[in-house]
Amino acid sequence: MIKVFAWKGVKFKVMSAVRDVEQVKRIKLLYIRPNEIPREIIVPDTQRTIKDLVGNPMKTIYLDSATKGAKDKVILLYNENKDKGLVSANRYLSHYGIIYGNFVIALENKNGYYKSLTNELITKYSELFGSESIKETEKHIKSLIRSRVILREQLRR
């Protein structure tokens, strides 16, 4: 329910705390949690919903264009301030390092608004972040741990 108020010739719209769900556009995303395969979810297209899924403040990684010549870009949204000691490592990305905590994959249009992923993109990124990705992340983390142990031993000498 929207109420409109006027004050000295200026109109203000005040939205009621309870919004009709049908008024909010819904979008299709991939939701990826640590050590789980990606899940397709349909959520209200609001900044608050995305923040509830990944946390705040959010950071964006641009993965690639949806299709050649397209204006929409595939994005990965995650919480950049996750305490890495308290949150599980999610996936290792070769150009970015380890992403911690939950993240989502969505489309972003040229104006910066989120859009639904196409079925083709859901398939592509479900495979990219699927079980093989979980295994690769585990290998990378074990390698990092081994490197730190070796470094510690060398520093003790």
Residue 12 within any structural domain of the chain: no
State pLDDT tens for residues 5-32: 334 444 434 444 445 545 678 999 999 9
Instruction: List the alpha helices (DSSP H) in 55-109.
Output: none
Predicted structure pTM score: 0.74
Q: What is the mean pLDDT of residues 94-104?
A: 89
Residue 46 within any structural domain of the chain: yes
Residue 137 within any structural domain of the chain: yes
CA–CA distance, 144 with 12 (Å, rounded to integer): 55
CA–CA distance, 16 with 29 (Å, rounded to integer): 27
How large a percentage of the chain has pLDDT more than 70? 75
84-96-115 Cα angle (round to 5): 95
Residue 108 within any structural domain of the chain: yes
Residue 45 within any structural domain of the chain: yes
pLDDT given for residue 90 in this prediction: 92
Residue 20 within any structural domain of the chain: no
> Residue 101 is part of which domain span?
25-156
Residue 9 within any structural domain of the chain: no
Pick 57 or 4 by higher pLDDT.
Answer: 57
Q: Quote the DSSP letter at residue 110.
A: T
pLDDT given for residue 68 in this prediction: 56
State pLDDT tens for residues 58-84: 889 988 765 556 688 999 999 887 666
Provide the residue type at 100 as one letter. Y
Residues 42/31, Cβ–Cβ less than 8 Å: no
pLDDT given for residue 78 in this prediction: 92
pLDDT band at 157 (very low <50, low <70, confident <90, very high): low
CA atoms within 13 A on the CB side of 64: 8
If one counts the domains in the chain, the total is: 1
Structure tokens at 5: 């108020």
**3 state DSSP class of 123:** helix
